[in-house]
Structure 1
Amino acid sequence: MSPGQIAALVAAGAFVLLVILLAIPLIKLGRTLDEATIAIRKAHQNSDPIFSGANTTITHVNAQLERVDGITANARAVTGNVSALTSLFTATLGGPLVKAAALSYGVSKAIRARRKASEAPGKHLRRRTARGGKR
């Protein structure tokens, strides 16, 4: 054997070793892709019940939202009615009640003033005399 043939034999051996070393990660990568394919297939099979459950849940939520919309509309109508009733009450009874309150305040103030005047008769008499009244 010549040295060229030995060098070719060593190069061929190195090439085979390189192919084997590169084949191992490729085989592992192929297994990983197979597992990923199986996992995707299982996820696809299990997603149908999840989606149907989600659809059922969304249907129930929509029904509840329709009820809440009805309740909100009724509350809005009640609020409008209460506002109208308050305006009516203020228009019809508010004025007379304010007048009655003012009258009672004035009467109570006048009574207090009379009581103070009756407790201190000297002051009352001096006022009369200062105005030119009799003593």
Structure 2
Amino acid sequence: MSAVEIAALIAAGAFVLLVLLLAIPLLKLGRTLDAATEAIKTANDGTDPLLVNANQTITHVNTQLERVDGITANAQAVSGNVSALSSVFTATLGGPLVKTAALSYGVSKAIKARRKKKEAKAARPGRRRKQ
């Protein structure tokens, strides 16, 4: 064997050792990629039912929002009717009720003033009451 053949054998051995050392990380990387692929596949399989349920929930929420919109419109109509009714009541009965209240207040004040006047006359000294 010549020196060139021995150098070629040493270079071949070093190359085999290098390939073996690089093969171990490549095998580990392959397993990691397989695990990642499996995880993605599992997540994808679990996402479909989740998205279907989310879609059903959104549909249900939209239905409820439409109902709430109808209820809000009805409540607005009722408040408008109540406002109109109170306006009609005020216009129809408000004026006479205010006048009646003012009349009763005035009559009450007049009766109280008359009573005080009679009591003051009766309480004056030097005057006698007729019996």
TM-score between the two structures when normalised by the length of structure 2: 0.72
Shift of 1:46: 1.3
TM-aligned CA deviation for residue 122 of structure 1: 6.3
Any gaps of 5 or more consecutive residues in structure 2? 125-131
Structure 2 distance, partners of 1:46, 1:92, is 69
The Cα shift of 1:47 comes to 1.1
Aligned-residue Cα RMSD (Å) equals: 3.1
Q: Distance in 1 between matches of 2:68 and 2:106?
A: 52
TM-score, with normalisation over the residues of structure 1? 0.70
Q: How many residues align?
A: 119
Tell me the amino acid that sits aligned with residue 89 of structure 1. Answer: F
User: How far does the alpha carbon of each residue in 1:109-132 deviate from its partner, in whole angstroms, 9 at most, with x for none?
Assistant: 1111112222221688xxxxxxxx
Q: Residues 50-96 of structure 1, C-alpha deviation per residue, up to 9 Å, x if partnerless?
A: 11111111111111111111111111111111111111111111111
1:121 aligns with 2:124: no
SS at match of 1:120: helix
Residue 56 of structure 1 is matched in structure 2 by: 56
**Percent of paired sites with the same residue:** 68
Distance 1:111 1:44 in 2: 92
Report deviation, 1:30.
3.5
2:40 pairs with 1:40: yes
Runs of at least 5 residues in structure 1 that lack an aligned partner in the other structure: 125-135
What is the letter of the counterpart of residue 38 of structure 2?
I
